[in-house]
A = this chain, B = another copy of it.
Amino acid sequence: MSAPEYGRAFTLWRASAPEWQAYTRHEFVEALRRGDLPRENFLHYLRQDYVFLIHFARAWALAAAKAGTLAEMQAASATVQALVHEEMPLHVQICAGEGINEAALEATEEAPANLAYTRYVLDAGYSGDFLDLMAALAPCVLGYGEIGARLAGSGGPYAAWIDTYAGPEYQALCHDVGALIDGALVHRLGPDWASLPRAGQLSKRFATATRLEVGFWQMGLDGP
């Protein structure tokens, strides 16, 4: 499958991340597609994903704090707002439907693979700049888009999950984030940014974050 068209940076970074296929075609993803992922593994993933969302929202909030233009700030702010006022309450509701109440969710012990990815992203943002943060966030945002697009229509017990990421709303978000990243690169580094040392450094950020996403799926597959 060719790369989804989420922009220039994504296309380059994706092509140079050694573990991109290991991430987007991870056995956890394949089991979601086939529908034979054990329920307890999915629930384990859901609980961890709730904790993940907290730190993911914090990272987008940091992006708003480190933005270079009003448009960047507005985009990042809208993402945080959607996460904390929509995604997270929705997640609580989905988990409730699965028999995991809010207290259980809150009590989830964050798995090392979860800590590794989220704190890598946050440190990339704090220690680097807006671009470092975007490069570290991209594998999650855009990788889920690519996975959703590939799994679209698979049906089965995980169809709702698949449809969320395959759906037009999430796909539009991916195009927006891709454009945000491309714009941020040009705004700081000019149109030929891909030839600068900075491009290699950002590409490495993306690759490391991708590697940590592999670990996240593996955590789901290994189960509680």
Residue numbers of A with Cβ under 8 A of B are 54, 57-59, 61-62, 64-68, 70, 73-74, 76-78, 80-81, 84-85, 88, 110, 112-113, 115-116, 119-120, 122-123, 126-129, 132, 186-190, 195-198, 201, 208, 211-212, 215
A198 touches B189 (CB 8 A): yes
One complex includes copies of this chain to the number of 4
By secondary structure, the A interface counts as: helix
> How many whole Å from A69's CB to the nearest CB in chain B?
10
- Chain B's closest residue to A92 (CB) is B70
Given contacts A65-B61, A112-B215, A128-B129, contact A77 B80 (CB under 8 A): yes
A158 to chain B, nearest CB (A): 26
Contacts of A123 in B (CB 8 A): 119, 122-123, 126
Instruction: Tell me the minimal C-beta distance from A87 to chain B in angstroms.
Output: 12
Distance (whole angstroms) from the CB of A116 to the closest CB of chain B: 4
Q: What's the nearest-Cβ distance from chain B to residue A96, in Å? A: 16
Q: Which of B80, B127, B187, B211 contacts A122 (CB 8 A)?
A: B127
Chain B nearest CB from A109 CB (Å) reads 9
Q: Which residues of chain B have C-beta atoms less than 8 A from A122's C-beta? A: 65, 119, 123, 126-127
Contact check: which of B73, B110, B119, B129 meets A119 at CB < 8 Å? B119
Q: Are A58 and B73 in contact (CB under 8 A)?
A: yes
Q: Which residues of B contact A62 (CB under 8 A)?
A: 61-62, 65
Residue numbers in B under 8 Å from A80 (CB-CB): 61, 64, 77, 80-81
